[in-house]
Amino acid sequence: MLIRNFTRIGAICMSLALASPPVSSQEAETRILGIHLAMSPELSMYDQHIHQEILDALLLNARRLPDVAPCELSRPYQIDYVFGDFAVSARHSNPAMLVKCLGGVVRYVMHEDIAEIDFRAAHASRVRLARESHELDARIPERADEVAERMALLSIYRKHSPLHQLLSVDGNAIATLSFDEFSLWLERNRKAGRFTFRGSKTLLEALDLPVPDPMVLQPISSLASPRMPAGVLTADSEPAGIAALIGLFLGHDETLSIDEKAKRRFACNRDDSSKLGDGYDAIARASCRTYDHFGHIWFTMPLRKAESAPYSDFCRQVLELSRDDDIATVARFSPDGSKGLYVLLPPACKAPD
């Protein structure tokens, strides 16, 4: 387990509140309430993640409560991913009404019975979203990159590690969760006191919630996950249209920016394809992006094989590309250097000497 300062979860809540300019009585104000759920010791991280997906989808149903309905309730953008973190924001022109609305959210999380019809709607929504994210859809070809990326990371992270468990959760896994199982899990966590709330000191006091002592440290669930040794691995992402993938671990800083020359050449985070240059004719298309997977930042480059190219040429060129000077430049941004670089080849490629 990692140890973190109590203020970390509420940092975004308090910073946004402090950054907001003063408002008149006629202008709407926004307050953010952070929620943290400690790990259920009786569950694996895989199962906990499934339950948390449903809880996250249910939170906005609190707007149906009479004391929450007057406010505009939404889900704020969260910068840092901490396992077990949730947040809601409420907006209203009356500060007293804002407190009342967020008090209703607290009651919803801690005491309200979850209606089975609400569970089923949240359940169906998260199953659909997971399938859209993880499964290939011929109508949305750009999703192929994301599908291949997830498959590559499942090959990179060792089985049973936290991130392998989280990445393994797909639509089918979420679909197996029943209403009774979820209700029992939620009530068990309520009784065990595993929910805590974060926000500004003023807000927490108004809600009659404990104000965390910044000097008190609390455990959080570690997502530190061992990886396979760097180098060449096998991942069968060809059904997604991606024959190979180059991946580089960049660390945990989502503000990190890689070398501009490499970004331009490899078309990072853009729709156009990379300009690989001569010698890469067996690679039909390459593109790259940097993406945050549960707080772990990765540079990935999915590679499509030219239809007429033999696998021997394609695999050789992918390996050559992984040793390209611009890839080496990007690797310097990794805290692990070349030990963070992976090449995922299709099974049709023979293992290199």
Tokens 């078309």 belong to: 267
pLDDT of 139:
63
Alpha-carbon distance of 287 to 267, in angstroms, equals 6
Q: 283-323, pLDDT tens digit by residue?
A: 998 888 888 888 899 999 999 999 999 999 999 999 999 99
Domains 2-220 and 243-338 share a fold: no
- CATH for 243-338? 3.30.70
Instruction: Give me the torsion for CA of 222, 250, 168, 303, rounded to 10°.
Output: 180
Mean pLDDT in residue range 108-122: 96
Strand, helix or coil for residue 303: strand
CB 133 within 8 A of CB 172: no
pLDDT higher for 272 or 123?
A: 123
Strand, helix or coil for residue 4: strand
Mean pLDDT in residue range 158-177: 96
pLDDT higher than threshold 80 for residue 171: yes
How many alpha carbons fall within 13 Å on the CB side of residue 89? 17
- Of 257, 236, 217, 184, nearest to 348 by C-alpha is 236
pLDDT higher than threshold 80 for residue 77: no
Q: What are the domain boundaries of the chain?
A: 2-220, 243-338
**Listed range (89-93, 268-272, 331-335) with the worst mean pLDDT:** 268-272
Beta bridge partners of 249: 298
Per-residue pLDDT band at 43 (split at 50, 70, 90): very high
pLDDT higher than threshold 50 for residue 91: yes
Tokens 């990159």 belong to: 145
CATH class given for the domain over 2-220: alpha beta
CB 152 within 8 A of CB 246: no
Strand, helix or coil for residue 329: helix
Instruction: Give me the torsion for CA of 133, 166, 249, 263, rounded to 10°.
Output: 20
Residues 6+ apart with CB under 8 A from 338: 230, 328, 331
Q: 208-253, pLDDT tens digit by residue?
A: 999 987 777 777 788 999 999 999 999 888 777 788 999 999 998 7
**Listed range (62-71, 123-132, 257-266) with the worst mean pLDDT:** 257-266
Mean pLDDT in residue range 57-61: 95
Note the pTM of the prediction, 2 decimals. 0.85
Mean pLDDT in residue range 69-76: 93
Structure tokens at 121: 């709607």
Per-residue pLDDT band at 141 (split at 50, 70, 90): low
